[in-house]
Amino acid sequence: MSPKTGPLVIAAAADREYVLPLAVMLRSALVNTAASETVEAYVVGNDLTDDDREKVAASLPPGARLHWIVSAAEEFDALPTWGRMSHTTYHKLTLRDWLPASVKRAIWLDADMVVLGDLNQIWHLDLGENILAACPDPLIRFVSSRLGVTGFRELGLPAEAPYFNAGTRSEERR
């Protein structure tokens, strides 16, 4: 995928337990992204109330473009959850299903992140033929590492394939 076309798009998911972290993440992303950049934020969730949405929107800088997507509550019921990993974690796997068709590229930000720099560095990154870019996990370097990907061989992944965290918190993996 080539670098940026259209507005910078942030995609995220949150449930009621993550309303405050979501507001912090979105505000930090918008405040730290160059003012000349148009930013569209899409948030998917199925148990957020109108009051939750209003609180998040009120915390954002003026002119923020925030879009709410409601998912089916039972969409991921058959998938495993543990600790603090809820069904919301799986929404990043279904971006194509809930982002508008006009969105060809998005930056996924977990709701519990704080953005400290301008997202344009990531947005303008040339991915070549790759479908995603991810930050390596500093504690788990490869899929074959302890706490990496169980069954990596069965999935056809080489032992030295890099690992990136896609949902659970490091304190839950120890």
Q: Which two tokens stand for residue 59?
A: 């915390």
In the predicted structure, residue 170 carries a pLDDT above the cut 60: no
The single residue listed with the structure tokens 């954002």 is 60
Separation of alpha carbons 28 and 34, rounded Å: 12
Do the beta carbons of residue 123 and residue 8 sit within 8 Å? yes
Q: What is the pLDDT of residues 49-62, one digit of tens each?
A: 999 999 999 999 88
Do the beta carbons of residue 168 and residue 148 sit within 8 Å? no
Q: What is the pLDDT of residues 89-131, one digit of tens each?
A: 778 878 888 999 999 999 999 999 999 999 998 999 999 998 8
Among 2, 14, 8, CA closest to 113: 14
Do the beta carbons of residue 5 and residue 92 sit within 8 Å? no
Confidence band for 65, pLDDT divided at 50, 70 and 90: very high
Average pLDDT over residues 17-25: 95
Separation of alpha carbons 91 and 12, rounded Å: 8
In the predicted structure, residue 22 carries a pLDDT above the cut 50: yes
Distance of CA 170 to the CA centre of its chain: 17
DSSP state of 60: S
Q: Which pLDDT belongs to residue 66?
A: 96
